[in-house]
């Protein structure tokens, strides 16, 4: 096969369709390596090719701007509550907020760790809170009176004790209360602790291929600390998706509060006409055509019967007819429209 720009004595270009531009557009080895993720022996700086195509199917958390504000509020609240909980100087910060597949996150959890399965009562769905081993040992050390300046003892290769699980559950209650408080300005939601797992396989709360939002929080207590990771599947956030799409708290799409206030003020000053209807009678067209001056129409109504006050075709009030000085007057007895609205 000839190179691009050279003659084709064997006639391959013609056999392939006769399009020299298509022949010139064939991928070389470097482009194939880039598409498939790099060549052998050469490390890649980041995801390329097919990996980018796969990852493009994920929904970025940046499409939910209000969620980042909620996590910022969570950090501020947790910094105060953890200081009160531990009696130590605690600093909480956000390391990252990313979108990923639920299965990819479960496979990447560093063990040993504790996975707390939580449930959002109002949204009727679940989430995960993951505590890594440094965080677990640090909170146990702090709550049991460990001295400052000494690293927490880590015994790898053993399961967590009952005391460690109980202390972590107390920490979970604090985190869940703060998470509910962080969502309060947006929407009221109560997060409830369901169970504590140490094996990621038993904490599968969503399909492995489903997308989720992961917030990594760093907790520093002087020379101790660790990470708390909060994972919320997009299915959990779906009931409040419209609220999370807001760019700032209280945003109202397509509405102008200044114009609404002006319109309301003008409506209060609008003049309307009320008609006092004594009675109504249905007549045939032949009877209407036979009406002449002097014809008497009898109304089937008693002198003290209530009358209707209407604005157009809408009945607003029921009233009684009377006289005030030299003019007819009506006294409103009850509101029809307000009772119907209730």
State whether 48 and 81 are in the same domain.
Answer: no
Q: 138, 226 in Cβ contact below 8 A? A: yes
**Of 12-16, 38-42, 125-129, 160-164, which one has max mean pLDDT?**
125-129
Same domain (yes/no): 139, 210? yes
Phi and psi (nearest 5°) for 167?
-65, -40
Domain identity same for 17 and 120: no
**Average pLDDT of span 80-98:** 87
- CATH number of the domain within which 315 lies: 2.30.330.10
Are 131 and 224 part of one and the same domain? yes
pLDDT at residue 297, rounded to an integer: 80
40 with 141, same domain: the answer is: no
Residues 260-304 pLDDT 10s: 888 888 888 888 888 888 778 788 899 888 888 888 887 777 777
Kindly state whether residues 207 and 326 are assigned to the same domain.
no
pLDDT at 340: 46
**Count of structural domains, the chain:** 3
Can you give the pLDDT at residue 248? 62
The CATH number of whichever domain residue 123 belongs to comes to 3.40.1550.10
Q: If we measure between CA atoms, which residue out of 91, 249, 116 comes closest to residue 183?
A: 249
Domain carrying residue 165: 61-244
**80 in the same domain as 42:** no
Residue 127 has pLDDT above 80, yes or no: yes
> Given the structure tokens 């939002």, which residue do they identify?
213
* Least-confidence region, from 8-22, 156-170, 218-232: 8-22
Q: Which residues pair with 311 in a beta bridge?
A: 314
- Residue 84 and residue 28 share a domain: no
The alpha carbon torsion through 98, 100, 104, 105 (nearest 10 deg) reads 40
Report whether pLDDT(112) > 60. Answer: yes
- Answer yes or no: do 276 and 195 share one domain: no
Kindly tell me the burial class for residue 79, based on how many C-beta atoms sit within 10 Å of its own C-beta (0-12, 13-18, 19 or more). Answer: middle
Q: Are residue 89 and residue 73 in the same domain, yes or no? A: yes
pLDDT of residue 19: 52
Residue range 211-250, pLDDT digits in tens: 888 899 998 887 788 889 999 988 888 888 888 877 665 5
Give residue for tokens 């509101």. Answer: 335
Q: Find all residues with CB under 8 Å of 268, minimum gap 6, and list them.
A: none
């Amino acid at each position: 096969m000839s190179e691009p720009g050279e003659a084709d004595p064997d006639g391959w270009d013609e056999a392939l369709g006769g399009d020299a531009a298509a022949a010139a557009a064939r991928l070389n080895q470097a482009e194939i390596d880039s598409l498939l993720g790099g060549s052998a022996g050469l490390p890649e700086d980041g995801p390329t090719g097919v990996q980018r195509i796969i990852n493009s199917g994920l929904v970025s958390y940046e499409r939910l701007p209000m969620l980042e504000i909620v996590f910022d509020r969570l950090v501020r609240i947790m910094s105060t509550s953890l200081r009160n909980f531990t009696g130590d100087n605690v600093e909480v910060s956000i390391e990252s907020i990313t979108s990923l597949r639920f299965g990819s996150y479960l496979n990447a959890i560093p063990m040993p760790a504790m996975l707390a399965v939580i449930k959002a009562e109002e949204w009727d769905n679940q989430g995960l809170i993951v505590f890594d081993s440094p965080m677990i040992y640090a909170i146990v050390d702090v709550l049991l009176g460990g001295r400052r300046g000494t690293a927490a003892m880590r015994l790898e290769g053993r399961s967590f004790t009952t005391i460690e699980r109980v202390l972590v559950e107390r920490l979970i209650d604090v985190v869940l209360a703060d998470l509910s408080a962080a969502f309060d300005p947006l929407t009221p939601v109560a997060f409830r602790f369901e169970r504590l797992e140490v094996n990621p396989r038993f904490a599968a709360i969503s399909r492995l291929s489903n997308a989720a939002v992961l917030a990594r929080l760093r907790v520093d207590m002087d020379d101790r600390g660790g990470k708390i990771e909060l994972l919320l599947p997009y299915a959990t956030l779906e009931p409040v998706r419209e609220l999370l799409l807001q760019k700032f708290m209280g945003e109202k799409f397509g509405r102008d509060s200044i114009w609404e206030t002006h319109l309301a003020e003008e409506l209060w000053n609008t003049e309307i006409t009320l008609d006092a209807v004594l009675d109504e009678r249905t007549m045939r067209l032949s009877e209407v055509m036979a009406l002449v001056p002097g014809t008497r129409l009898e109304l089937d109504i008693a002198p003290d019967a209530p009358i209707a006050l209407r604005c157009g075709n809408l009945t607003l009030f029921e009233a009684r007819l009377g006289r005030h000085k030299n003019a007819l007057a009506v006294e409103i007895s009850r509101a029809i429209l307000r009772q119907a609205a209730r």
